Structure 1
Amino acid sequence: MKRLSIIFAGLTFTAVAGFYFYSRASEQKLSTPRSTHYQGDAPKAAKTIDLQSLVGLKERPAEETLNKTQVEMILGYLSNASDHGLQTIDLAPMYETLQTGRNLRADEKAALIEAIVKFGEEVGGSRIDWTQARKDWALRPTARDVRTSFETAIQSDTLRNWLDNLAPSHDAYRSLVGARNQYAQILLNGGFIKLNSRTGLVKGADNPQVAILRSRLAQEDFEAGPTPTPNLFDAALANQLSLYQQAHGLNPNGEMGEKTFAALEVPIEARIKQIDLNLERERWLPRTNPATRIEVNIPEATLVYYKDNRPALTMATIVGANSTKTPIFASNVHSIVLNPPWHVPRSISRRQRVQPPGPNNALGRVKFDFLNDFSVYLHDTPNHAPFSATRRNLSHGCVRLDKPKDLAELLLAPQGINRAQIDEITSHVVTRNIKLQTQTPVALLYRTAYVAKAGANINKVQFVDDVYEWDSVLENLIASSKQPRSSKPTSVANDAKIIAAP
């Protein structure tokens, strides 16, 4: 029988050809585990867990029944742990044992089980100590008993299905995992190409620096296509540069300005860390997304309405200012109020008053109500000028909409209420509260890296400014959660100021 030699961690193993390990995407031949991917706080020298340090732990019932095929499945899955931005595990000792043709000892199985349970807990959103988290991070992952479900999977011989369902299955998470793979590969290939200077990078220029820019953009799939004049800054290159700018929240003018140059010079390690932090936040969402839903991306100040998992409406929004941040949470839109009055909170006016409906009402003509602990809602505004600004974190915490009637029309259509009727009602000042027959899920999210699902940059990573600096807060929280936990919340949990206002 043909034999296959594998070099791993300085050791050479020999395996029988046809020996397979299970991975989430497909079954693959036994291969070197990917343990060199960037791991957030150690981009060039990934930290590993020494599985042998876990040997000797108290054995559990699963160790007695864990067969060789199941061991192979677990090892195959753990070899992809870094794809999720989680700590890479040193699998060499386990692989070495299997290369001898025998199964693991009971204590080795115990170590492997501890590793997969830990991974299952972390990929389920348990990396941080939620008692220390900000109060306005109100989107919390559902608690799961990973160890019990693992033992059930072993006993019922459903391990493969259990592994497949460990990580979130919604598209935003899966596509970001794929993006992390792409950027990890760029890192392994030496990182981003350095431009060093933006001198000579202007439309119509013809110099070697332009060819370097072409190569740099191509690393992130912004390719201008083959050209006999790579040194020429032509229209095709300007178009790809404008798409890059759009994907990074910059003015898409196709010109090499100071901010565009700065974005191109951000190290690959920083981009991978940005992806890792967003993978963590995606784990706080339900395992699958409702097919019809509203998502607000706070740092980008945008709203997308999904119908059957496809973007049906996109619009600009205005979100909370840095002093009155919009919280992260999920709820369900239960009512639409046309011509809403506004009950002005004391945080804005010293004397409470009610602003009547009308053209000058701060809530505009449409308000979308949903239950939450912050008195936050989506609403219209009489002033639409700020929607053209690049930075739109200006409100007192609520989310102002650029196209509220478009959204109302989509949500009310199943109830036979059309745009003409909405326009007629809002041409007057009588309040009309319409209860939705089917509530629409809504999530206010904080995504500084995500994969676009529509538009010119479809399937490309979009990097957004961290307007509230919550990426660094999350990074610090992950680091501190690795330490012994205190039952007393820190100031991080109390740094949340929510004002019930537009």
Structure 2
Amino acid sequence: MVHLSPLRQAGQAVLLSLAPVTALAQTPPPAEPAPQLQLDLPSTTGEVAPPPANLNPPPIPIPAMSPAQQGYLNDWLKQGAQQGLSSRNRATRALSGDALVSAVLDRARALTRGRVDTADFLEVWALRPAAFDPRPGLAAAITADRLPQWVAGLTPPYAGYEGLRKGLVAYEQIRDAGGWPSLTAQSDAATVRRRLAMEDKEISAAEPVSAAIQRAQRRYGLNPTGQLDARTLASLNVQVADRIGAIMANMERWRWLPRQLPENRVQVNIAAAVLTMFEGDQPVKSMRAVTGSPSNATPMLASSIRSIVVNPPWNVPTSIAKRELWPKGRGTLIAQGYKILKTPEGGERIVQPAGPNSALGRLKFDFDNPFAVYLHDTPARGKFSSYDRLASHGCVRLEKPVALAEMMVQGDPELEGQIQALIDQGKTQRVSLPREVAVYLLYWTAFAGSNGAMNFREDPYGWDKLLAQKIEASSERAAAATLASKD
């Protein structure tokens, strides 16, 4: 489970690498003397050996651009707000020469791997975009006169990103028209209907206003009562500028992802507390989850699930033991079934044995990550019926873990259909999956529905505003650098 403050120091990516060790087999000595090696040693007569080959070749040169190409790229650079790289379009002077090339390369990198440099990430933003050099593509596009096609290929190729881009345009239009009014519990039906219509294009004058409120509540992830309760009012009264910031932040997170996701994968939307299983790149099963509370953020990360632990014990992390269990007293802990074990360092640790009351339930889905988080079952089922499901210590609790496990072992004749039988045996055992399953823990607080309407979730960790600020600051630095450059 994660035990890191969500606002701990930024930029420290934890990388673990294991270097393979190759054993060298000994061979008998050759029958004949080995040939003498000819070494290029410095001459003793004053001659100097040639320098080694250049290990850092010069960057690919950018061909000269036609006036039409320069005009196209200058117009493109003015459209940063349309891709969520700034909150408003900036007036910029026309660029040419090295200044234009530098600005275009910077924009290409921002669209492909994010506007914010990874050195400025929070530690729990553990997704790391792949390196990208836009120079070869730009040079080829200029030579072939295919700049529009090159530009179109820079943004993430996902419907989720495109839905946000279209939503951004709509919300910027609302902002530029003056935004929306605040509602109160005393607002009349006509006022409420007008406010809802600003985000809901399906609203009609004939339907009851309660039906339109229900649609809004579903878009916000709230209980669709049709009543204008306090939480619904709070969601409707979020300023449009904050909605734009949320869209920008989510577009940036899309840019951090690889351009092709594994076809078979598990995705968790941390903010919505929902897990979705994909097969063949299609969503095939979703279930409710419980994710980290605001004080125990579930990290964003990508990894792979290779095994499942059946009937897992819970080795209570030190931070949880200190904060929640040790204050109960040793006698109470032992009476509740915990075991207190000695550590090699002479201290003590708490373990909850496997069983129906174990905090990990009957199944634990392991995957490598520096935060010690995982997916797991839970005996506490009440939260799954709630619309507020951010309550864990950072791990992801699953509503239907057996169904998920069965999907992961499909194709293995010894395991398929046997997960519950293994649980019923009562013993702890690790089950290897027939194939590893990619897992992504992501933080989506804004996304477009099937009808194009924007859906929003609360920002429990405060990451949206922080990331939107970082995007804006990074764009301002890039714009300042461009203005300071000389043609």
Match of 1:337 among 287, 303, 309: 309
Alignment-derived partner of residue 246 in structure 1:
218
The 5 A counterparts of 1:324-363 are 324-349=296-321, 351-363=348-360
Distance of 1:484 and 1:114 partners within structure 2? 13
Distance of 2:413 and 2:194 partners within structure 1? 53
Counterpart check, 1:217 vs 2:196: yes
The 5 A counterparts of 1:434-449 are 434-449=431-446
Alignment-derived partner of residue 230 in structure 1:
none
For the Cα contact (< 8 Å) 2:307–2:430, is it kept in 1? yes
In the TM superposition, what is the alpha-carbon distance from 1:395 to its structure 2 partner? 1.7
CA, structure 1 residues 348+265, in 2 after alignment: closer, same or farther (shift >3 Å)? closer
Alignment-derived partner of residue 244 in structure 2:
272
Counterpart check, 1:394 vs 2:353: no
Alignment-derived partner of residue 198 in structure 1:
185
In the TM superposition, what is the alpha-carbon distance from 1:358 to its structure 2 partner? 1.9
Distance of 2:374 and 2:99 partners within structure 1? 48
For the Cα contact (< 8 Å) 1:336–1:367, is it kept in 2? yes
TM-score calculated relative to the size of structure 1: 0.71
Distance of 1:438 and 1:419 partners within structure 2? 13
CA, structure 1 residues 264+425, in 2 after alignment: closer, same or farther (shift >3 Å)? same
Alignment-derived partner of residue 135 in structure 2:
147
Alignment-derived partner of residue 425 in structure 1:
422
In the TM superposition, what is the alpha-carbon distance from 1:392 to its structure 2 partner? 2.2
In the TM superposition, what is the alpha-carbon distance from 1:372 to its structure 2 partner? 1.0
List runs of 5+ in structure 2 lacking aligned partners: 1-59, 323-347, 479-487
CA, structure 1 residues 460+70, in 2 after alignment: closer, same or farther (shift >3 Å)? same
Q: What is the number of equivalent residue pairs in this alignment?
A: 394
Counterpart check, 1:292 vs 2:264: yes
Counterpart check, 1:468 vs 2:461: yes
The 5 A counterparts of 1:45-64 are 61-62=61-62, 64=64
Distance of 1:418 and 1:223 partners within structure 2? 47
Distance of 1:212 and 1:332 partners within structure 2? 50
Q: Which has the larger radius of gyration?
A: 2
Alignment-derived partner of residue 11 in structure 2:
none
Distance of 1:224 and 1:155 partners within structure 2? 50
For the Cα contact (< 8 Å) 2:377–2:401, is it kept in 1? yes
Match of 2:169 among 177, 181, 190: 181
Indicate the RMSD between aligned Cα atoms, in angstroms: 2.9
Alignment-derived partner of residue 81 in structure 1:
80
2:274 aligned partner, one-letter code: T
Alignment-derived partner of residue 491 in structure 1:
none
Distance of 1:146 and 1:327 partners within structure 2? 30
The 5 A counterparts of 1:11-22 are none
Alignment-derived partner of residue 497 in structure 1:
none
In the TM superposition, what is the alpha-carbon distance from 1:475 to its structure 2 partner? 3.5
Distance of 2:475 and 2:70 partners within structure 1? 27
Distance of 1:93 and 1:470 partners within structure 2? 33
Per-residue Cα deviation, 1:63-94 (whole angstroms, up to 9, x for no partner): 52x23453454345445432211246667865
Distance of 1:68 and 1:308 partners within structure 2? 45
2:164 aligned partner, one-letter code: L
The 5 A counterparts of 1:443-462 are 443-452=440-449, 459-462=452-455
Per-residue Cα deviation, 1:339-373 (whole angstroms, up to 9, x for no partner): 22333333333632543322122211111111111
Report the secondary structure of 1:381's partner residue: coil
2:203 aligned partner, one-letter code: A
Alignment-derived partner of residue 229 in structure 2:
257
Distance of 1:254 and 1:419 partners within structure 2? 43
List runs of 5+ in structure 1 lacking aligned partners: 1-59, 95-106, 202-208, 228-233, 486-502
Distance of 2:198 and 2:228 partners within structure 1? 17
The 5 A counterparts of 1:344-383 are 344-349=316-321, 351-383=348-380
Per-residue Cα deviation, 1:373-426 (whole angstroms, up to 9, x for no partner): 111110001111122233222222211111111211222223246774222221
Q: Following superposition, which runs of at least 4 residues in structure 1 exceed 6 angstroms of deviation?
A: 482-485
1:117 aligned partner, one-letter code: L
Per-residue Cα deviation, 1:308-340 (whole angstroms, up to 9, x for no partner): 333222222112223322111111111122222
Report the secondary structure of 1:337's partner residue: strand
Distance of 1:280 and 1:401 partners within structure 2? 28
Report the secondary structure of 1:140's partner residue: coil
Alignment-derived partner of residue 154 in structure 2:
166
CA, structure 1 residues 418+438, in 2 after alignment: closer, same or farther (shift >3 Å)? closer
Alignment-derived partner of residue 52 in structure 1:
none
In the TM superposition, what is the alpha-carbon distance from 1:129 to its structure 2 partner? 3.7
For the Cα contact (< 8 Å) 2:297–2:461, is it kept in 1? yes
